[in-house]
Amino acid sequence: MKIMITGAYGMLGSDLREVLKNFELICTGSKDLDITDEEKVMEFISEKSPDLVINAAAYTAVDDCETHFDEAYAVNALGPKNLAIACKSIDVPLVHISTDYVFDGSKRTPLIETDNLGPQSAYGKTKLEGEKFIQENTDKYFILRTAWLYGLHGNNFVKTMLELAETHDEITVVNDQIGSPTYSLDLAVAITNLLHSDKYGIYHVTNEGACSWYDFAKLIFELSDVEVNVIPVSTEEFPRPAPRPHYSVLDNKKWNASGFVAMRDYKEALGAYLSLYNFFKRLRKT
């Protein structure tokens, strides 16, 4: 099986390359393929003729999207559109990674795929447009909405917390945003469920369970045996250019009901990540 991965050198893409290493992989970054160029995407996919395309490419700098809307729209909306059109032309499935930011954050119970959408940020709006373009241009698609992604590759909340703790005795973290932290390696493994599946559609896929960023930070330090004073603050006390959903817990019920392998609890996933993180950290010091 020949699998094409866009965004192959980012956080999720790097994990996908490892998880799928026994397959024939076509790995692309932005320098290899500009997914915003429809003609180039069509030529590339037609020439390479993959059996499956996984789109892990995205403009994920949430705050920057507010002031770089055109660039975010090109990558997050037009890119998926171009990939969908190209996949349709050679009749292969497209796996696309989306986000909890397509919701407005007002609901207070876990979100299902058919709940009302209402992105509040430029990032969320561009990602939702990407979802729509895919649905309009191909029938063979898997849109996976995930949330609060962290992993070994690239910057993320867990790394930031641990690095801050090295130079700070106190760290302030918002406690009124609730979501499901998700280990990118677990998401990459989950994607392997789709390699031979025809159960197309939109799915929510996160590690199970939910917490606030404050609770997550406390758990990171607890599992890492790091002593630091974590101070809870409200979103209003810690303003950011882009609005964040106050509640964006995604319900994996449809994923589980479809017979795909269930995601583990976020606490277990964090423990597994920290073991690897600390192993590589010790390795770098030797």
7-17 pLDDT per residue, tens: 999 999 999 99
Residue 238 predicted with pLDDT over 90: no
* Bigger pLDDT: 248 vs 285: 248
Q: What DSSP string describes 38-51?
A: HHHHHHHHHHH--S
Q: Give the pLDDT of residue 285.
A: 72
Task: Please report the DSSP string for 15-72 in residue order.
Answer: HHHHHTTTSEEEEE-TTT--TT-HHHHHHHHHHH--SEEEE------HHHHTT-HHHH
Q: What is the pLDDT of residue 279?
A: 83
Residue 103 makes CB contacts below 8 A (sequence gap 6+) with 111, 115, 116, 117, 118, 119, 124, 245, 248
> Distance between CA 136 and CA 151 in Å, rounded?
32
Using one digit for the tens of pLDDT, what is the confidence trace for 114-160?
999 999 999 999 999 999 999 999 999 999 999 999 999 989 999 99
Q: Are strands 201-204 and 141-146 parallel, antiparallel or unpaired?
A: parallel
What is the structure's pLDDT at 154? 87
Helix (H, G, I), strand (E, B) or coil at 271: helix
Annotated catalytic residue within 9, 59, 73, 123: 123
Residues 207-224, mean pLDDT to the nearest whole number: 97
Give the pLDDT confidence score for residue 22 in this predicted structure.
97
Q: What is the C-alpha separation between 63 and 164, in angstroms, rounded? A: 20
Please provide the DSSP assignment of 143-206 as one string: EEEE-SEE-SSS--HHHHHHHHHTT-SEEEEESS-EE--EEHHHHHHHHGGGTT----EEEE--
> pLDDT tens, 50-60?
999 999 999 99
Q: Report helix, strand or coil for 237.
A: helix
Q: CA 217, CA 224: separation in Å to the nearest integer?
A: 11
Residue-level pLDDT at 286: 64
As a whole-number percent, the residues of the chain with pLDDT over 90 amount to: 94
Residue 70 has what pLDDT?
A: 97
Is 59 a residue of the active site?
A: no
The domains located in the chain, with CATH, are 2-156+179-209+249-265 (3.40.50.720)
Residue 284 has pLDDT above 90, yes or no: no
pLDDT value of position 138: 98
Question: For residue 123, which of 182, 79, 59 has the smallest C-alpha distance?
Answer: 59
Q: What is the mean pLDDT of residues 73-99?
A: 98
Q: Check residue 57 and give its pLDDT.
A: 97
Is the entire prediction scored with pTM above 0.85?
A: yes
- Tell me the pLDDT of the chain averaged across its residues: 96
Q: Where are the beta strands (DSSP E) in 184-278?
A: 201-204, 211-212, 229-233
pLDDT tops 90 at residue 283: no
Query: What percent of the chain stands above pLDDT 70?
Result: 100
